[in-house]
Amino acid sequence: MIIHELTYYNHELEWRFESIKFSDFNLLVGVSGVGKTQILKSIMNLQKITKGTSLNGIEWDVKFTSAGYHYRWLGEFETKTIDKFAFLINDELEDKNNFLIIREELYLNNNIIIERNKEEIIFNDNKLPKLSPFKSVVEILGEEEYIAPVKNGFNKVIPSSELGLVANSIDSQIRMHLFGYKNLHEQYSSLEKIKESNLHIQAKLALIYNHYQKLFQKIKNDFTNIFEQVEDIKIEPYDDIDELTKFLADYPIIKIKEKGVTNWINQEHISSGMLKTLIHISELYLSAEGTVILIDEFENSLGINCIDILGDLLSENRELQFIITSHHPYIINNVSMEHWKIITRKGGVVTARDAQDFNLGQSRHQAFMQLINLDEYREGITA
């Protein structure tokens, strides 16, 4: 999926995002509090709606492409004043998270296929029987041919907090072994199937190591460019098996070899920072086509040294979309200004403007210096 444009309102909190246009790579910049993180959260809220969640006071209008189709999806939930002590009353507890959908529309290639109000739902010119008034039609009719791409597309929205993490403990490896690694080689026989699967990232990485060494070499090169003391990486079973680990004999673990050191370092002894970086790099390379990756404060989520990897992935014409936020000068200065979205807020109204709207300099460094001196960038919030 690729998100092209989003307008979003939170009537309960009185926040509004004016229409934001997205490309394949978007860096949201601005001071703290202008709404950068809220933009990412609004996209995650749309994903929740496609899964049946009812959200108080949310109104949206989003244009996107999924499975080759062009969609526009609009909707609005009612706005309720919630009593913060309602949870103390059992009969109110059951209903407090149910909010009526006031209206909902879905367009496919500019033709309306869903039209909904409080009284009825029209699907392809046919009136449907009464359905849940609290759930989106995307959830209710998610198996229908032209609605499934909407649901599947939003399922491919991944925040950085959910990028695959590997614990460096034996317990984690045991759980992955019980998941059935031995049978994966036959089931996931192609690179596309591996990427599209819901496999734990370590299982994906092991399959790549065994069957797609060229891709694994890219991952390894990116990792060793960041951690120059690392000479090599392999993913193989334990060398020394004891009573505790003998049933893990066939399950591959991550091992690294540092320069000037003879022995390989097993996964549970690799530093958490190193392991996290390797897993994040792997996730970026092994995400399915159509994945939308949301990264809040890139420098804290993936680390500043990973920024060049995004450019490499996009240069390969992967069907990936990145929407990221950052305050870090290194990140901003290493992303072309054509990808900058300068976020400002006046009261509850959040606005995103492209760098060219400010006539910034031609060179990256000149544009960066002008950016950090912009009133809109330095102040960001106005009354």
Indicate whether 167 and 298 sit together in one domain. no
pLDDT digits (tens, 9 = 90+) for 86-100: 555 555 544 567 899
Q: Work out the average pLDDT over 320-333.
A: 91
pLDDT digits (tens, 9 = 90+) for 121-130: 999 999 999 8
Indicate whether 109 and 36 sit together in one domain. yes
Indicate whether 147 and 175 sit together in one domain. no
Q: How far is CA 84 from CA 80, 92, 98, 101, in A?
A: 12, 11, 15, 22
Number of domains, the chain: 2
How many whole angstroms separate alpha carbon 320 and alpha carbon 334? 19
Q: How many residues does the chain have?
A: 383
pLDDT digits (tens, 9 = 90+) for 199-229: 878 888 988 998 999 999 999 999 999 999 9
- Check which CATH number belongs to the domain holding 302 and give it: 3.40.50
Q: Work out the average pLDDT over 167-185.
A: 51
Which pLDDT band, with edges at 50, 70 and 90, does 189 fall under? confident
% of the chain surpassing 70 pLDDT: 86
90: amino acid identity, one letter: N
pLDDT at position 56: 96
% of the chain surpassing 90 pLDDT: 55
Indicate whether 137 and 250 sit together in one domain. no
CA 267 to chain CA mean position, Å: 26
pLDDT digits (tens, 9 = 90+) for 213-269: 999 999 999 999 999 999 999 998 877 655 455 555 667 789 999 999 999 998 888
Per-residue DSSP letters for 49-102? HHTT---TTEEEEEEEEETTEEEEEEEEE------TTGGGSHHHHTTTT---EE
Indicate whether 214 and 339 sit together in one domain. no
Range of the domain at 363: 2-156+292-382
Which pLDDT band, with edges at 50, 70 and 90, does 334 fall under? confident
Indicate whether 136 and 217 sit together in one domain. no
CA 338 to chain CA mean position, Å: 21
Q: Which residue has the higher pLDDT, 302 or 230?
A: 230
pLDDT digits (tens, 9 = 90+) for 304-323: 878 888 877 777 778 899 99
Indicate whether 183 and 255 sit together in one domain. yes
How many whole angstroms separate alpha carbon 67 and alpha carbon 80? 36
Average pLDDT taken over every residue of the chain: 86
Exposure on the CB side of residue 380, measured as CA atoms within 13 A: 17
pLDDT of 171 > 50? The answer is no
pLDDT at position 259: 94
What is the token pair recorded at 7?
């307008």
pLDDT of 83 > 80? The answer is no
Indicate whether 243 and 308 sit together in one domain. no
Q: Which residue has the higher pLDDT, 366 or 291?
A: 291
Which pLDDT band, with edges at 50, 70 and 90, does 286 fall under? very high
Q: Which of 237, 265, 284 is the last residue of a domain?
A: 284
pLDDT of 117 > 70? The answer is yes
Q: Which of 232, 249, 284 is the last residue of a domain?
A: 284
Indicate whether 131 and 173 sit together in one domain. no
Pairing of strands 58-66, 340-346: unpaired
pLDDT at position 218: 94
pLDDT digits (tens, 9 = 90+) for 345-368: 999 999 999 988 888 877 777 888
Indicate whether 233 and 376 sit together in one domain. no
Indicate whether 224 and 310 sit together in one domain. no
Q: Which of 284, 304, 329 is the last residue of a domain?
A: 284
Indicate whether 372 and 324 sit together in one domain. yes
Whether the model pTM is above 0.85: yes
Q: Work out the average pLDDT over 139-144.
A: 95
pLDDT digits (tens, 9 = 90+) for 6-56: 999 999 999 999 999 999 999 999 988 899 999 999 999 999 999 999 999
pLDDT at position 230: 96
pLDDT at position 109: 96
